[in-house]
Amino acid sequence: MAEKLRPDFLIVGLQRSGTVWTGAILNSHPDIACFPNIPFDPRPNGNKIGDVDFFNTLATLEPGEHKFTRSLDRYLTMYNKVFADLVLLVNTLPKKEFYKIMQQRYSDYCDKIRGNKKIVGENTTDYVFHLDFIDSFYPNIKKICVIRDPKDKITSWHFSLVNKGRRKEKKVTEDFVTDYLNERIVEEYKALLSYSGHIHCVTYEKMVSNPEKTIGGMLDYLKVKKSSEIISAMIENASFENQTKRVGGVARKQGKEDRSSQIRKGVVGDWENHMTAGVAKIIDESVEDLRNRVFEKYKVMH
């Protein structure tokens, strides 16, 4: 029997929608490994969470224009150099053969991360733009997508840029909203609508308000064991305090965002503190039709 190629599932998006938390929750199941999932260290030289970007990197070799891709050369220095020795082969082999050896390395790495657990998954939010390409490597691979209120999503992106020193404004402005809507959010919804395969879609809001049912649904989808005890332990292990290793986790316990970390608490409705009602209306009206169609197509509970 041929060796099984990993991974078993992918978290394919959406950006700033709680995918890191979702991955940490799933990784806390006794039968599931999910990566990247390392403790966040806020010190300058501390560990950071980084996406693998496997499919959106290889997509740069495909004809035509593809959204949110990454340069293959990044693998020469990034992601622990897992693929570094293979990058130089790209111009020496037929593309199909190069893909094959890259896929084997990726599968081997996934299997290494899996360890003694039954299944392994990987989490990269840009994968939502490469769904058919993913299927060309792993036909019918299970896919999970987390959808979040676009107002909170934009607020989260705003503070992500602020924390990186790439944005100085205190408030979420209309220009900022328009750019992110057009460049990212609208395109994410369109990608979901154009895909003909199945994706298990959940909302961030339901994960917060009804975690046992939402997480239980993901466990059913992945065909692993579930119980109230298992789910409670998963949520506890993936808590803000444990993921950031901050003493006491004061910000999360007080129901506040922690803006000093790229791992953010993700308070539902936090947008109200950072944008005007007029800007919020622009967001809602811009995505209402697309969002409703996505929810209907994937039977999203909301």
pTM over the 0.85 mark: yes
Q: Is residue 173 part of a domain?
A: no
Q: Is residue 302 part of a domain?
A: no
Tokens of 105: 């390395």
* Residues 58-117 pLDDT 10s: 999 999 989 999 999 999 988 888 999 999 999 999 999 999 999 999 999 999 999 999
Q: Is residue 218 part of a domain?
A: yes
pLDDT score, position 267: 83
Q: Is residue 184 part of a domain?
A: no
pLDDT score, position 252: 41
Q: Is residue 90 part of a domain?
A: yes
Stretches in the chain below the pLDDT threshold 70: 1-3, 37-50, 243-265
pLDDT score, position 259: 47
pLDDT score, position 165: 87
How many C-beta neighbours within 10 Å does residue 66 have?
A: 15
Please give the residue range of the domain that contains residue 84: 9-148+198-255+292-297
Strand partners, 201: 145
Indicate the number of domains in the chain: 1
User: What do you get for the CA distance between the two ends of the chain, in Å?
Assistant: 43
Q: Is residue 275 part of a domain?
A: no
How far apart CA 148 and CA 150 sit, in angstroms, is 6
Q: Is residue 264 part of a domain?
A: no
pLDDT score, position 265: 61
Q: Is residue 136 part of a domain?
A: yes
Residue 206's CATH number = 3.40.50
